[in-house]
Structure 1
């Protein structure tokens, strides 16, 4: 019995010592490490900045819950949903999913396409009329960087600015600016990670930072004057980048494997069988399917296409033709 156990242990050690299993274990460990790394939430000051702005803001304020619901890289636009959320009974009352204004409120959103009833970017909320939020389409922030192009997929990055101002109408008919406080309410959206920073109405490129106390004072002054500017940064999620990397590795593997096989067949080291011809053709068509798996459906002609997809497609196509020609011309091999 002990001899049999010893033999089984030796066989197990022999199997585990093979290069295949060593490679498999290495890949598994590396993959688990990557998954753990991309699952970590990046440490930033967004929550701390919001908490500090809330503590510095007036209690008699109208909070604006802003949510990015979609990004269109080809048009350079994003869809956003804005929900006014009164923090004071002087402005309105909160419902479960909406609110009731206690005075007439006008919100002006600088957007590409608005959805107000008047066909403008001014959204009017009447006193004592239960209401909710509204959707707008916003454009990219002026002066966008080079990576604000879908050609950089999956490393593209977009910044969207949402300037909002608010005016309330008092009972005597006088109008006055409302204290504002924009807050990020964005959920996960397909292929993108969204983060918000508080910019200044006068200069959106100047943002509120924890190590810059003056930026808090400037932002609060604008909020108390009924003006706010929120900048949303959209980057591809880590999961999207990981999947694209795997797809590109599969393309490279297919190109290298069919190149080696074709060389062996053309040089006479391996027979030009019908199965090798079928395999080469199948790899060519599989590349087209792999390209369609890229998340977010990027357009044809992006940077990774020029570096990986087009060369892989051309090489596998040429190799398939070479295998076909060799299979047709040579008669000294049996398929």
Structure 2
């Protein structure tokens, strides 16, 4: 008659099981909540003092190209103030100067034509190899101007606002007055905007979970291989296929990381390389055990051919 397990052992097993379930549920909820809260653009700092006739420009980040160090921003004139009779069609030609761009630095809104949104690409500083903790910043001075009777570009009073949502990223827009220019209509503050883009918490959590699962694979393979080597489990040749599948699944899993970090990122040196090394080591250990203790084959040379009966 088999002995009943110790109640304390059963209690520890139940606690471990429920603890594991709760941990998995918490990780799942953390990833889901972080994804739902990520992507919105946060604003901070000064974007100009409100004025009744000011031009109001809305900045909307639309895309982050981490590998190319570029940030795409849509600039939309939501209110042309005293320079338009209907708020969206300028009464005179207006120009918008944007610094630190990859391409044209001047946007023109012609007189008597609806001022359409324009997309500009800003150059950023950052290192994608530091994924998922990479950080990108760019500083740009945005100034709307009009051309006076003497052909001189004169800044006009304006305000900036930033809004939008970029999935997978946390973007902060900070406005600061970088200079003040005296004009015939009064002093005009020139506003610089600093955009900072980092990976969203949901992206970081996704990457960490996926990398953790990759680390588990060589641990399982090495555990099984050394168990067979020590003779505690019999050799199953089908395990060679299982280990090979783990090995070939590593690269697709690595390429599935959100944000597609380029080859040579820190995760390759700290995790992916050693995952592959662990899987290969487990394969070697299992082959050694198989060669040592596996069933020997019967060589064809060991079988003597039967003598054919002689015919008279």
TM-score computed with the length of structure 1 as normaliser? 0.74
**Are 1:25 and 2:9 counterparts?**
no
State the partner residue of 2:302: none
- Residue in structure 1 matching 2:122, options 110, 131, 138: 138
Compute the displacement of 1:257 (Å).
1.0
State the partner residue of 1:73: 66
| Pairing of 1:220-299 with structure 2 (within 5 A) | 225=188, 227-299=190-262
Deviations 1:85-115 (A, max 9, x none): 2252434534xxxx3112210111113323x
Rounded Cα–Cα distance in structure 2 between residues aligned with 1:92 and 1:262: 79
Larger relative contact order (CA 8 Å, sep ≥ 6): 2
Equivalenced residues, count: 284
Deviations 1:194-253 (A, max 9, x none): 121113335xxxxxxxxxxxxxxx89x9x9526221111101011101111111110111
- Residue in structure 2 matching 1:152, options 116, 130, 145: 130
State the partner residue of 2:5: none
User: Equivalent residue of 1:71, what SS?
Assistant: strand
Q: Any gaps of 5 or more consecutive residues in structure 2? A: 1-9, 298-312
Compute the displacement of 1:15 (Å).
9.7
| Pairing of 1:162-173 with structure 2 (within 5 A) | 162-169=140-147
Backbone CA RMSD of aligned residues? 3.4
User: Equivalent residue of 1:137, what SS?
Assistant: strand
Compute the displacement of 1:162 (Å).
2.2
Asked if structure 1 preserves the Cα contact closer than 8 Å seen for 2:172 and 2:196, the reply is yes
Rounded Cα–Cα distance in structure 2 between residues aligned with 1:185 and 1:103: 27
Rounded Cα–Cα distance in structure 2 between residues aligned with 1:278 and 1:184: 54
Q: 1:162 to 1:174 in 2, by over 3 A?
A: closer
Asked if structure 2 preserves the Cα contact closer than 8 Å seen for 1:77 and 1:139, the reply is yes
TM-score computed with the length of structure 2 as normaliser? 0.78
Rounded Cα–Cα distance in structure 2 between residues aligned with 1:40 and 1:134: 29
Asked if structure 1 preserves the Cα contact closer than 8 Å seen for 2:226 and 2:285, the reply is no
User: Equivalent residue of 1:101, what SS?
Assistant: coil
**Are 1:324 and 2:287 counterparts?**
yes
- Residue in structure 2 matching 1:111, options 100, 111, 122: 100
Q: 1:282 to 1:149 in 2, by over 3 A?
A: same
Deviations 1:127-174 (A, max 9, x none): 11123021111112xxx5xxx311211111111222112212468977
**Are 1:200 and 2:177 counterparts?**
yes
User: Equivalent residue of 1:100, what SS?
Assistant: coil
Q: 1:17 to 1:313 in 2, by over 3 A?
A: closer
Q: 1:174 to 1:76 in 2, by over 3 A?
A: closer
Higher strand share: 2
Asked if structure 2 preserves the Cα contact closer than 8 Å seen for 1:110 and 1:164, the reply is yes
Q: Any gaps of 5 or more consecutive residues in structure 1? A: 1-13, 115-119, 203-217
